[in-house]
Amino acid sequence: MIDRDRAVRLVEEVLRAEEREFAERGRPVTLAIDKVTEHRLGWIIASQSESYLRSGNAGDMLAGGGPYLVDRHDGSIHHIPITDYVGGLWEEDYEQRVKPTGAAEADPHRGIPFATEIREALEHEGRVAAIRLLRRCAPSVNMAEANDYVAAIAAGERPSAGLIELVRPPSRFSGRLGITTIAGPLLSPAESPEPPFGHRNTSGGAGNRS
């Protein structure tokens, strides 16, 4: 399990390498971490030029990049293009293409549409609210199908393949740039027990991360 402090240190090492790339291109810049957000897949870490973080001057902002993801299980580091991040295209890309096997498989709901949202609704609002949520997200699902889907998730199981395909939203990936793995992994599965849970482009600069 990678904690917040270790994730920050790992990304700081990436930023130092990135600074060297900028310097080699005659564009020296000092980079700093802007924001750290915990996510079920790990730590999302945004960075920006130190001068912009101090001054807030738009002329100092590096634009066009995206945040890093440090995998919570093995410490691997991945760059998420800003358009994928803002457009919500990155999670399924990560779980289906970048890391289809490994520690993340300990979650029986990995890759199940709306599983995270349904689990949160079950925990905080109850089963009826979870069913309503699913029917808002997937209007083509009838009440009985929604009930079966939510019941499977509540029991820690996977809904049937037919239900999953019925609920799955249309693909939004036609404009996806795709996650890039920068480094890692650091830990083997045996070193990474299941937690309880709950590059910027140097040719064109980096982005304001969310």
Please state the domain extents for the chain.
Answer: 4-99+176-191, 115-167
What is the chain's mean pLDDT, rounded? 82
- Which of 41, 52, 11, 62 lies closest to 111, judged by CA? 41
- Tens-place pLDDT, residues 145-164: 999 999 999 999 989 888 98
Answer for the pair 209, 82: CB distance below 8 angstroms, yes or no.
Answer: yes
For 123, the 3-state DSSP assignment is helix
* pLDDT given at position 29: 94
3-state helix, strand, coil in the chain (%, to 5): 45, 15, 40
Lowest mean pLDDT among 76-90, 94-108, 160-174, 176-190: 94-108
Query: Which two tokens mark 105?
Result: 């498989």
For 162, the 3-state DSSP assignment is helix
**Edge-to-edge strands, sheet with 31-39:** 31-39, 42-49, 68-71, 77-79, 180-183
* pLDDT given at position 202: 38
H-only helix segments in 33-189: 50-55, 82-86, 90-93, 115-124, 127-137, 143-154, 161-167
Give kind and range of the element (H or E) at residue 32.
strand 31-39
Pick 176 or 151 by higher pLDDT.
151
Pick 93 or 18 by higher pLDDT.
18
How far apart (Å, rounded) are the C-alpha atoms in residues 160 and 154? 14
Preceding omega of 185 cis (within 30 degrees of 0): yes
pTM flag (> 0.85)? no
Query: Which two tokens mark 116?
Result: 């995270």
- Tens-place pLDDT, residues 85-123: 877 778 888 887 888 654 444 566 767 888 888 988 999
- For residue 44, is pLDDT > 90? yes
How far apart (Å, rounded) are the C-alpha atoms in residues 198 and 210? 21
